[in-house]
Amino acid sequence: MNLKQAHLEFIQNLKTKDRAEATVTAYSKDLEQIIDFLAKQGITEVEAVTSEKLNDFMQKLGTEGYTPKSISRKTNSTKTFFKYLYEETKAIKNNPADLVSHPKLDIKAPRILSKIEYKALRDAVKDDTRTMGIVEILLQTGLRISELSDIKMGNIHLSEDIDKKDGEMFVPGKGNTPDRAIPLNSAVQKAIKNYLEIRPFSKKDFLFVTKTGNQLLVRNIRATLDKYFKDTGLENVKVNDLRHTFIAHHLQNGAPLYMVSKIAGHKRISTTEKYLEHVTVKRREGNFELEEL
């Protein structure tokens, strides 16, 4: 089988599995880069790919200044692609990616915003109703940016009395991520309600839309928030750090590990446990209720 054809079939397979658009795009670009490298080595068929050539590609990335994190992502793309060819299509008899190892990564501590920092961010966006809604959802629910972009109007259920904390957001699972229901406190419900009052008319069901009614894409959300981070003087802050802040804040305030893990949509509770290395947990007794940030 030709590598380019195998690449197209693999990407289509990812789409049928309802993988996030950003994930599919990342896999596709990584594989295009690998296939281009192999073609320059005279390798165009999947059966001709060897572990040695794949490792040569990873070593080349290192000499070109790619970070270990980037190389690890491309390694993961490579392994997933060849696993698909080996297990699902039977296009190869041996999996050359089995002998490709991930580079060692220095795991950085999550960037957790202090109360002063996220209050400053709120102050910066208070006159931008749509962005205020985005910030509140990310801070109060721990949503991923891709999930935020994909929220549908029908996924949001506000209380009749939004001062109450019984609103809810339904987040459909993608890939191996399970469906989950996330409680909405009064702060985030108010922010959503305020946005709905000025939301442009749209035939599309997405909660956050552009002025022309189209879905607000991940890159639009990231660009907007990056601007506000800069304006606020928040250093080394990325969109995903609002998610880190949500998780760390609630663990620090004594929220049960399983509860935070479920709301965050972590595949493994061990992912949530890692945050405990960076917070001092307050002991709580009795029933627990998530606090507003």
d(CA 134, CA 126): 11
Rounded CA-CA distance 23/13 in Å is: 13
Question: In angstroms, how far is CA 111 from the centroid of its own chain?
Answer: 15
DSSP labels, the chain: -BHHHHHHHHHHHHHHTT--HHHHHHHHHHHHHHHHHHHHTT--BGGG--HHHHHHHHHHHHHTT--HHHHHHHHHHHHHHHHIIIIIS---SS-GGGG--PPP--PPPP----HHHHHHHHHHHTT-HHHHHHHHHHHHH---HHHHHH-BGGGEE--SSTTSS-EEEEE---TTPPPEEEEE-HHHHHHHHHHHHHPPP-SS-BSSB-TTS-B--HHHHHHHHHHHHHHHT-TT--THHHHHHHHHHHHHTT--HHHHHHHHT-SSHHHHHGGGGG--PPP--S---PPP-
Residues whose CB falls within 8 Å of the CB of residue 123, separated by 6 or more in sequence, listed in order: 232
> Poorest-confidence range of 88-97, 116-125, 176-185?
176-185
Give the burial class of 289: count Cβ atoms within 10 A of its Cβ; 0-12 exposed, 13-18 middle, 19 or more buried: exposed
Give the length of the chain: 293
For residue 168, the model assigns a pLDDT of 94
Q: What is the pLDDT of residue 69?
A: 86
Distance, CA of 230 to CA of 236 (rounded, Å): 9
Q: Which domains does the chain have, with CATH numbers?
A: 3-99 (1.10.150.130), 115-278 (1.10.443.10)
Q: Is pTM beyond 0.85 here?
A: no
Q: Tell me which of 10-14, 104-108, 123-127, 278-282 is least confident.
A: 104-108
Residue range 198-217: average pLDDT? 95
What average pLDDT does the structure give for the chain?
92
Tokens 């060897």, located at residue: 50
Strands across the sheet containing 180-184: 156-157, 167-171, 180-184
Q: Is the pLDDT of residue 175 over 80?
A: no
Q: What CA–CA distance (Å, rounded) separates 194 from 128? A: 10
* Percent of all residues in the chain with a pLDDT value above 70, rounded to a whole number: 97
pLDDT tens track for 23-58: 899 999 999 999 999 999 999 999 999 999 999 999
